[in-house]
Amino acid sequence: MKRKILLALIGLVLLASCATTKSFDFSQVQIGMSKEEVSAKLKRPPYKILGAKQYPNGTMEVQEYYYVTMGGEDRDYWLYFWNNKLVKYETPDIRGKVRPNPWQDEMDRAYNSLGLAGR
């Protein structure tokens, strides 16, 4: 009897973890999407807004999405929005870095890659 209960609990945990993983399908996210479209595709709002910066010709905002893989590994995605449109996303390796806000440097790189400076 105890074995059946244990197997049932293990089965429930496995099903729950699969459901959590499937609800965060990052393959559906595409460059050019709005913040609202990204949230709808990922079926959740961002974990947090890392920051935003006003440039002469628009605003760059960095959002963080966070989830735990089936193997228990933490995974972060940083999404860069230029005037509400996704222009870049990445999974940063922030372990061991001492900079308090490494996303700020990446925000400037993302802006510069758009070729809008000086316009």
Q: Kindly indicate the confidence band of residue 71, based on its pLDDT and cuts at 50, 70 and 90.
A: confident
3-state class (DSSP) for residue 114: coil
Judged against a pLDDT cut of 70, whether residue 47 lies above it is answered with yes
Residue 118's φ and ψ, nearest 5 degrees, are 85, 0
Classify residue 90: in a domain, yes or no.
yes
3-state SS of 9-24 is HHHHHHHHHHHHHHCC
98 or 69, which is more confident: 69
Q: Output the CA–CA distances (angstroms, integers) from residue 75 to 21, 26, 47, 54, 72, in the order listed.
A: 11, 11, 12, 28, 9
Judged against a pLDDT cut of 90, whether residue 116 lies above it is answered with no
**Is the separation of the CB atoms in 80 and 88 below 8 Å?**
yes
CATH of the domain at 91: 3.30.1450.10
Classify residue 118: in a domain, yes or no.
no
Classify residue 47: in a domain, yes or no.
yes
Whether pTM > 0.85 for this model: the answer is no
Judged against a pLDDT cut of 50, whether residue 22 lies above it is answered with no
- Total domains, the chain: 1
Share of residues in the chain with pLDDT > 90 (%): 35
Classify residue 119: in a domain, yes or no.
no
Domain extent, residue 27, equals 2-113
